[in-house]
Structure 1
Amino acid sequence: MLCPCGCGDSIELMVMKGVAPRWTIHADAKNRPTLHPSIWRQSGCGSHFWLKSGRVVWCRPESQVNRF
């Protein structure tokens, strides 16, 4: 898949059993994909997001997380 930030990079995720790291993929009734765990690009743009029901849900940067 292409990175949703718009940088143009291709993201390859392993979904086959027996490999690590591995993501699980599920499709809802409308065939929209959900991936688990989140996708966090450690190089390049550094995007960190979830794919839930076909939508990108961005993780907040550490600086925006409330600390209690």
Structure 2
Amino acid sequence: MRRINENIDNSLLSLKNFHDNKTTLVDLPNEILLLICRYLSPAYVLYSFYTPEKPETRLHRLIIDY
């Protein structure tokens, strides 16, 4: 029984670590983000990714340069 509990605990720990390691759009390199932007019209790029509350982020600088 103790061994089963240890296995369950280890499995839960693995799941917790898995959920903590999330990749988001801003984690991607600039080159990949620019490839994504190529598929959108400039208006959709601004609508989708630009938020005036945080104009100094890396993503915003990339959009402005695009």
- TM score, norm. by length of structure 2: 0.23
- TM score, norm. by length of structure 1: 0.23
Bigger relative CO (Cα 8 Å, ≥ 6 apart): 2
Quick check: which one's helix share is greater? 2
